[in-house]
Chain A
Amino acid sequence: MANGELSCGRRFAAVNEILERHQRRPERLVAVLQEVQEVYRYLPEEVLQYVATGMGLSPAKVFGVATFYENFSLEPKGKYVIRCCDGTACHVHSSDEILTAVRDRLGLKEGQTTTSDLMFTLETVACLGACALAPVVTINGEVYGQATPEKIVAIIDELAGGKEHGEN
C-alpha cells in the first residue's frame, strides 16, 4: 500500500508540487486546477482523483468545479489552441467566416473541437478584450487582430508544417 502511494506520488510529482505551493487549501482549488491544466494541457480523470485526495475534498466537488468553468477541459487539447473570438464586436465583423474557414481547414466535424492528431484545438470565446482589433483570433495566447479567414488559415498551414487539408 505504502509502495503504491509512493509510485503514485512520483507519477504525479508535478501535481504534488502544485498542491504544496497552494498548501492544499480547499479555497485554492480553482488555481490548482488551472496550474494542473498548464502541465497536462487538460485535466485527466486520474489526476482529478489525485487532486481530490490530496486536498481532502470529495471527487464530486473537484469534478463539479472542473466541469463548471469553461476553461477547464476534461479531454486532451491540441498542441495549438486556436481561439476565435465571437464576442459582440467580432461578431459584427463577421467572425463566423473565420470560424467556418478554420473548421474546414482542420476538417473538424460537427461537435469535434480537436484534430485527431492532437495538433489543433478550435474554440470560440466570448470576448478576448481586444475588440478594437475585431475580428480577433488567438493561437496559444498570441493575439492576431483584424484577422481574415485567409490570414488565419495561412498561419495554420505554417504551424502544420505544410500538411494538407484533411491529412490530419
Chain B
Amino acid sequence: MAKIRSGEDLNRLAAMYRQATEKAAKRILVCAGTGCVANGSLLVHAALKKAIEKTGVAVDLDYLLEHDVPNNATQLDKSGCRGFCQMGPLVLIEPHNFMYVHVRPEDAEEIIQESIIGDRCVERLTYMSSSGDKHYDREEDIPFYKKQHRQTLSNCGHMNPEDIREYIARDGYKGLARALTEYGPDQVVEEVLASGLRGLGGAGFPTGRKWQAVRQAAGDTKYVVCNGDEGDPGAFMDRSIMEGDPHKVLEGMIIAGYAVGAAEGYIYVRAEYPLAVERLTKAIQEAEEYGLLGDNILGTGFSFRLHINQGAGAFVCGESSALVASIEGKRGMPVPRPPRLAQKGLFGCPTLLNNVETFANVSFIMREGAQAFANLGTPTSHGTKAFALTGNVKNTGLIEVPMGTTLREVIFDIGGGIKDDREFKAVQIGGPSGACLTKEHLDLPLDFDSLKRAGAMMGSGGLVVMDERTCMVEVARFFMDFTQRESCGKCIPCREGTSRMLEILERIVGGEGTEEDLGLLEEIAHMVHDMSLCGLGQTAANPVLSTLKHFRDEYLAHVRDKRCPAGVCRALRRFEIDASKCRGCGRCARNCPVGAISGQIKQPFTIDPERCIRCGACIKQCAFHAIREVN
C-alpha cells in the first residue's frame, strides 16, 4: 500500500472503496462485538458463508476491489457492537436493513434463500415487541433504536472495525485531513472550543480549554493520553467504541496531537478488554501503513506515534494523575495538583488527557464543523452521550442520545420499561461515584448541569435501572464495598472512612444497625468528601448520601423494625408458617438444619425466629406452600 500523501488522495481512495462496496448487490453484517461473540456469532458467520456459497459467491472488499462482480455476489462482513447485545447474535442485511436477532447457525440457509435470493424478510428472526404482538423488520423501526441518535457510534455495527478501508469509505480521517491541511493548530483548538464539547469521562470539563492549556504550555515534548480505563462497574461505552470503531479514537488523538503540539500519544486500556487492545493494535498498524499515523502524516510534515498500555486492574488508575503514574510503570496513585497535567504530566511533560468517547467526537467536529456539533443537545451540554443501559430494564445495551434526553425516554421508550412489568424504583447513574435518582427525577434531562443540580453526575455513562425488588441499603453497601477495596490508601480519610462506612452498612444489612448509625454515616461521609485527595474519595459517599436522602424509610425499616422492605437482606428475612395451610406433616422440621421448627404431628408447626438462620430450606420442602417469607 502506497502511503496517502494528501487530502485529495484520501478522497480518491474513499470514493474507490465506496464504489467497490456498491458493486455487490447485498451485504450481510454479522456483529462480532464481545457480546455477540459470546453468544456464538462467529459460528453464525461461518454458516452464512457456507450458505452463500451454495448458490452464489461470498465476497469481501479485497475481492470487490479487484474483480468484476457477478450479480449473485453477497458481501459478508463482521461488524462492531450494535449495542443491542442482549438480542445477539445480530445479523443485518443491507440494503433492506432487515435486522435479525438471536440468529443461530441453523438459520443461515433460510436467511440466504429468503432475504438474499428472495428479497423477503424472515419474520421469525426479527425483533418482537416484549408484549409479543408486533414484529419489527428493520433496525430503524425498533423502539430501542428509534429515539437514539447515533453520532459517535455511527460506525459501530455498520462496518468492519478491522479494516481501515471501510472507515475511510465512511468519511474516516476526513476530519484529520481538514485539520492538517485547512487549519493551523490554533484554529483546531478554536474549533473544538467553539463546538462546546465537554469531557465525557465524567467531569464534563470543556475539552477546548484543556487543549488550549496544553497548546500554550511551555515545553518541546508534549503527550496526548487517551483514558480507556473505564473502571465504572456497569459501563461499557468506551469498550464498544474501541472495539467497534477504533480508528475514530485514533483520528481524534492524532488531531489532538497536531493541535497541542505533541508527537506521541498513549492509549491506556483496561486489562479486561482484550478485544479492544487487539483491534486498536491492528488499527494503529493499518493507519501507519496508510500514512495516517507515523512520519509525515498526509504529506504535511506532521508526525505522530501511538502506543498502547494495558491496565492491571486498579480502578483508581482511571483518575488522570494515577493513570499517568501507571503509564510510567509506577504504582497508580493520584498526586496532588497543581501542577496540572497540562503543565507537568507524563514523564514530567505537558500532557493532554481525554476520555475515549471525548476523542471519538473530535473527528465529527473537524469534519462537519463546530456548529453542526453544537446544534444537538442543550445550551450548555452540546452533542450526544453514550450510555450503558443495564439492570432490571427490558432492553439492555449500549445507547446514544442527544444531551438533554429525559430519563423517562431512556428507560421507558428506549429501554422498553421495567422487566416483567415491575415497578421502577431507582436508577444509579455514574457508578460508584454517582447517585441514585428516583421516580421524581424521571423527567430530568440528562445533561451535565441538570444532573449536577439534582445532586447526581453524568459520570462515565453507566445507567443501572433497579426495580422494586432492589434493596437500596444493600445497593449502597455494594458500592461502598467496591470503593473501599479500590481506595489506593494514600489518604487516611478515604482509606479508613470507606472501611468504617462499609462496616456500618454491613451492620445495617445484617440487622445489627441502630438509628445513630445513620447520623454517623452522614458524618463520616462529609469528612471523607472534604478531606480526600482525588475524586475517588471525594465521591465515595455519594451512593450512601443519595440513598439516605431518597430512601431514608428503607434505612429506618432496617434499623428500627429490623425489616428489609424489598426482602433482599438475608439476615432480616423472616419465615412464617401459615397455620391454615399447614397440615402438620413435620417435613419442614426434619429438614431444618438448626432445629428451629417444632410442633405436633397433624397440628400447625411454628418457627422459632431466634434460632432460625434464614436459609430458606423449609420453604423448598413444604408441599403445601404453607411457609412464606414476610418482609
Q: Which residues of B contact A70 (CB under 8 A)?
A: 312-314
- Asked if B309 contacts A30 (CB within 8 A), the reply is yes
Partner pick for A130 among B38, B326, B329, B431, CB 8 A cutoff: B38
- Asked if B273 contacts A129 (CB within 8 A), the reply is yes
Q: Which residues of B contact A92 (CB under 8 A)?
A: 390-392, 464, 466, 470
Q: Which residues of A contact B398 (CB under 8 A)?
A: 132
Partner pick for A125 among B37, B239, B272, B332, CB 8 A cutoff: B272
Q: Which residues of chain B (480-502) have a CB below 8 Å from chain A?
A: 482, 486, 488
A34 at the binding interface (Cβ < 8 Å): yes
- Asked if A130 contacts B85 (CB within 8 A), the reply is yes
A sample of 11 inter-chain contacts (CB < 8 A) reads A25-B329, A27-B328, A31-B309, A65-B329, A68-B332, A72-B312, A87-B234, A129-B230, A129-B273, A133-B38, A144-B38
B235 at the binding interface (Cβ < 8 Å): yes
Q: Which residues of B contact A133 (CB under 8 A)?
A: 35, 38-39, 85-86
B373 at the binding interface (Cβ < 8 Å): no
B331 at the binding interface (Cβ < 8 Å): yes
Bound complex: CA of A89 vs CA of B235, how far in Å? Answer: 9
Closest Cβ of chain B to A16, distance in Å, is 18
Bound complex: CA of A111 vs CA of B236, how far in Å? Answer: 30
Q: Which residues of A contact B391 (CB under 8 A)?
A: 88-89, 92
Q: Report if A27-B329 is in contact (Cβ < 8 Å); known contacts: A34-B310, A34-B312, A89-B464.
A: yes
B396 at the binding interface (Cβ < 8 Å): yes
For the complex of A and B, 10 pairs with smallest distance between CB atoms: A87-B233, A69-B312, A88-B234, A70-B313, A127-B233, A29-B329, A71-B313, A89-B390, A143-B38, A132-B85
Q: Which residues of A contact B271 (CB under 8 A)?
A: 34, 71
Bound complex: CA of A100 vs CA of B363, how far in Å? Answer: 47
A28 at the binding interface (Cβ < 8 Å): yes
A26 at the binding interface (Cβ < 8 Å): yes
- Asked if A88 contacts B462 (CB within 8 A), the reply is yes
Q: Report if A131-B314 is in contact (Cβ < 8 Å); known contacts: A64-B331, A141-B274.
A: no
Q: Which chain A residue shows the least CB distance to B273?
A: A129
Q: Which residues of chain B (292-343) have a CB below 8 Å from chain A?
A: 309-315, 326-333
Q: Which residues of B contact A130 (CB under 8 A)?
A: 34-35, 38, 85, 236
- Asked if B39 contacts A145 (CB within 8 A), the reply is yes
Q: Which chain A residue shows the least CB distance to B38?
A: A143
Other A-B pairs beyond A72-B313, A86-B233, 8, CB < 8 Å? A30-B309, A69-B313, A89-B233, A125-B313, A126-B486, A127-B236, A127-B272, A132-B398
Count how many chain B residues have C-beta atoms less than 8 Å from C-beta atoms of the other chain: 55
- Asked if B331 contacts A26 (CB within 8 A), the reply is no
Q: Which residues of A contact B482 (CB under 8 A)?
A: 126
Q: Which residues of B contact A89 (CB under 8 A)?
A: 233-234, 388, 390-391, 396, 464
B246 at the binding interface (Cβ < 8 Å): no
Partner pick for B312 among A27, A30, A91, CB 8 A cutoff: A30
- Asked if B478 contacts A88 (CB within 8 A), the reply is yes
Bound complex: CA of A81 vs CA of B470, how far in Å? Answer: 30
Q: Which residues of chain A (117-142) have a CB below 8 Å from chain B?
A: 125-134, 136, 141-142
Q: Which residues of B contact A141 (CB under 8 A)?
A: 274
Q: Which residues of A contact B470 (CB under 8 A)?
A: 92
- Asked if A68 contacts B272 (CB within 8 A), the reply is no
Q: Report if A26-B329 is in contact (Cβ < 8 Å); known contacts: A70-B312, A133-B85, A144-B38.
A: yes
- Asked if B236 contacts A129 (CB within 8 A), the reply is yes
Q: Which residues of chain A (7-22) have a CB below 8 Å from chain B?
A: none
Partner pick for B332 among A26, A69, A143, CB 8 A cutoff: A69
B: residues with CB less than 8 A from A are: 34-35, 37-39, 84-86, 230-236, 239, 270-274, 309-315, 326-333, 347, 388, 390-392, 396-398, 428, 431, 462, 464, 466, 470, 478-479, 482, 486, 488
Q: Which residues of A contact B331 (CB under 8 A)?
A: 64-65, 68
Q: Which residues of A contact B330 (CB under 8 A)?
A: 29, 65
Q: Which residues of A contact B315 (CB under 8 A)?
A: 126
Chain A interface residue number, banded: 35 or more
Bound complex: CA of A88 vs CA of B388, how far in Å? Answer: 12
- Asked if B390 contacts A132 (CB within 8 A), the reply is yes
Q: Which chain A residue shows the least CB distance to B479?
A: A88
- Asked if B236 contacts A134 (CB within 8 A), the reply is no
A: residues with CB less than 8 A from B are: 25-31, 33-34, 64-65, 68-72, 86-89, 91-92, 125-134, 136, 141-145
Q: Which chain B residue shows the least CB distance to A61?
A: B330
Closest Cβ of chain A to B140, distance in Å, is 20
Q: Report if A27-B327 is in contact (Cβ < 8 Å); known contacts: A71-B313, A129-B272, A144-B38.
A: yes
Q: Which residues of A contact B312 (CB under 8 A)?
A: 30, 33-34, 69-72
Closest Cβ of chain B to A59, distance in Å, is 14
Bound complex: CA of A128 vs CA of B270, how far in Å? Answer: 10
Closest Cβ of chain B to A32, distance in Å, is 8
Closest Cβ of chain B to A100, distance in Å, is 12
- Asked if A134 contacts B272 (CB within 8 A), the reply is no
- Asked if B34 contacts A88 (CB within 8 A), the reply is no
- Asked if B390 contacts A30 (CB within 8 A), the reply is no
Q: Which residues of B contact A28 (CB under 8 A)?
A: 329
Q: Which residues of A contact B230 (CB under 8 A)?
A: 129
Closest Cβ of chain A to B308, distance in Å, is 10
Closest Cβ of chain B to A7, distance in Å, is 28
Q: Which chain B residue shows the least CB distance to A67?
A: B331
Closest Cβ of chain B to A148, distance in Å, is 14
Bound complex: CA of A153 vs CA of B34, how far in Å? Answer: 22
Partner pick for A131 among B39, B231, B234, CB 8 A cutoff: B234
Q: Which residues of B contact A129 (CB under 8 A)?
A: 34, 230, 235-236, 239, 270, 272-273
Q: Report if A132-B35 is in contact (Cβ < 8 Å); known contacts: A69-B312, A87-B234.
A: yes
Q: Which chain B residue shows the least CB distance to A83?
A: B272
Bound complex: CA of A30 vs CA of B266, how far in Å? Answer: 14
Q: Which residues of B contact A65 (CB under 8 A)?
A: 329-331
Q: Which residues of B contact A27 (CB under 8 A)?
A: 327-329, 347
Closest Cβ of chain A to B451, distance in Å, is 18
Bound complex: CA of A128 vs CA of B234, how far in Å? Answer: 9
Which of A126, A128, A143 is most buried by chain B, counting CB atoms within 10 A of its CB?
Answer: A126
Q: Which chain B residue shows the least CB distance to A124?
A: B485
- Asked if A128 contacts B272 (CB within 8 A), the reply is yes
Bound complex: CA of A54 vs CA of B329, how far in Å? Answer: 15
Partner pick for A88 among B39, B239, B310, B464, CB 8 A cutoff: B464
Closest Cβ of chain A to B542, distance in Å, is 14
Q: Which chain B residue shows the least CB distance to A88?
A: B234
